[in-house]
Amino acid sequence: MNFNFEQGEIFLIDKPFRWTSFDVVNNLRGFLHSRLGIKKMKIGHTGTLDPLATGLLILCTGRFTKQIEQFKDLDKEYTGTITLGATTPSFDLETEIDFSFPCDHITEEAIHSVSISLTGTYEQLPPVYSAVKIDGKRAYEYARRDQKVIIKPKVISVSAFEVTGIRMPHVDFRIVCSKGTYIRALARDFGKALNCGAHITALCRTRIGQYHLRDAWELEELKKALLEGGVINEQ
């Protein structure tokens, strides 16, 4: 197996839990520099995945970085768990629970009905704890300093919102959606519609377009393959 980083490679990576997308990019870049002697290398990812999410992250190197925007336009599939009865400022477990609500009134029929209501094309308000840029800074930079900002809603499309399991107060799901969709915001809206609050407690990206998580590398396995395989260095 030969790798030509300058000409361009596309790597499917299973992002580790609590790693940022940039952590993965920087880790691989550092490996290429320190272990393989590749000092200058264009490398980037095709779409941010939350630190507390796992799953498919696509990295492009060399000339293939010019294709990154094309990857961003592809639809995405996620699986995970929404926990009802409590909210957090970040809509996931990055922040502590701020409010709790009773959810004894919620039926399985209501849960399925709300999932159907959240499919289609509509405007979604992104989370304050997000990478949305406001005046040159990421929204989460303001949020972590308790600074209030105004975030504009974005048009998204949810083509599938399937409830795959109910273990109250936990609801397992599979979602297929367009670029720019925040699953955490879907969890927020899910809780609001059920009048009980909700947040994400597990999230995994399983597909980007035709690329699947089942074909992805564990980061350490990829490094091993790079050491054992041939690397064409055109510097």
Q: What is the pLDDT along the chain (235 residues), one digit of tens a residue?
A: 677 777 888 999 999 999 999 999 999 999 988 888 887 778 999 988 999 999 999 999 988 999 898 898 999 999 999 999 999 999 999 999 999 999 999 999 999 999 999 999 999 999 887 777 777 777 777 767 777 778 889 999 999 999 999 999 999 999 999 999 999 999 999 999 999 999 999 999 999 999 999 999 999 999 998 888 755 555 4
Residue 29 is which amino acid? R
pLDDT of residue 115: 98
Residues 65, 91, single domain; the answer is no
Residues 81, 46, single domain; the answer is no
Pull the structure tokens for residue 56.
């498919």
Residue 47 is which amino acid? G
Pull the structure tokens for residue 58.
């696509």
Residues 204, 129, single domain; the answer is yes
Residues 159, 116, single domain; the answer is yes
User: β-strand 99-100 against 86-87: which pairing, if any?
Assistant: antiparallel
Residues 83, 196, single domain; the answer is yes
Rounded-to-integer distance, Cα 7 and Cα 152, Å? 39
Residues 202, 92, single domain; the answer is yes
Residues 86, 154, single domain; the answer is yes
Residues 64, 159, single domain; the answer is no
Residues 215, 150, single domain; the answer is no
**Active-site residue (options: 14, 50, 92, 189):** 50
Split into its structural domains, the chain has a count of 2
pLDDT of residue 135: 73
- Note down the domain range covering 83: 76-208
Residues whose CB is less than 8 angstroms from the CB of residue 24 and which lie 6 or more positions away in sequence, other chains included: 13, 15, 16, 45, 57, 59, 219
**CATH number of the domain bearing residue 163:** 3.30.2350.10
Residues 225, 200, single domain; the answer is no
Residues 149, 195, single domain; the answer is yes
Q: Is 50 a catalytic site residue? A: yes
Cβ 173 vs Cβ 82: under 8 Å: yes
Q: How far is CA 154 from CA 103, 147, 150, 185, in A?
A: 29, 21, 13, 12
Residues 176, 224, single domain; the answer is no
pLDDT of residue 235: 45
Q: How far is CA 153 from CA 8, 90, 128, 188, 209, in A?
A: 35, 16, 11, 14, 24
